[in-house]
Structure 1
Amino acid sequence: MSEAPSPALETALAYHRAWTGHDFDLAMTYVADDIVCEAPSGRLEGAEAFRGFMEPFSQILTGSHVISAFGDDTTALLMYDTKTLPVKSAPGAECLTVRDGTIRHLHIIFNQAPFIAAQGAPSGS
């Protein structure tokens, strides 16, 4: 018999399924109003700023799969790979702090190299 996922991991996976499934309104139900997000572009504070950062990325997403996921009562760690319109593979990881079923802090590590390379590629590549 397998053990049930931790509370933080359940929230993190539900959030991930929502944004990668192009339901950003549902994804935002897992995000606290006062979320703090440490993103590759810098620190974001509040749900509105977070949505402004993350939703445009979700709109160019064509696929995603979770490579690994771990969690306990308050912290979850997801590693995943995404497919987007500009690049076929864009791996990332998120460390999420969850309280009362909402994400309070999110630290995103994202490989920007594939996007940088795609911007420099000649058209038709």
Structure 2
Amino acid sequence: MLTACSSSSSVTTVEEIQDMPVHVVHAQNNATADNATVNNCYKENAARLSELQYSLKTNMLQDVKTSEVLDTHSDAHRVFAALSKLEQISSMNETYRKDGNIAGLKAINEMLKPLKATV
């Protein structure tokens, strides 16, 4: 059973990710961010997203059955929903980097700060 493998902190992290509002942040027209700042913020966000994704996959998706993934009441389904949300955030991170949108990158950074990787 999947629940036996997941700790309460894991479940809490999944719930926090699922409940996280993801807002689009438009770049300030007059704010010009230098490439180094944009790239540093992007890389920090990308590393954090990767850490969270890896943690969820390795700690909560061991020995998962297909039926669990499709069961909307299972932990596995919730983990996959959280992973999908992290993938959306990752796409936004990439878009903000391409656009030089430092405000968007910083918003993602702030959104990810309270999340803890599962143990």
TM beyond 0.5: no
Q: Which has the higher strand share?
A: 1
Higher relative contact order, structure no. (Cα contacts within 8 Å, ≥ 6 residues apart): 2
Which structure's CA Rg is the greater one? 2
TM-score for both structures, normalised by structure 1:
0.27
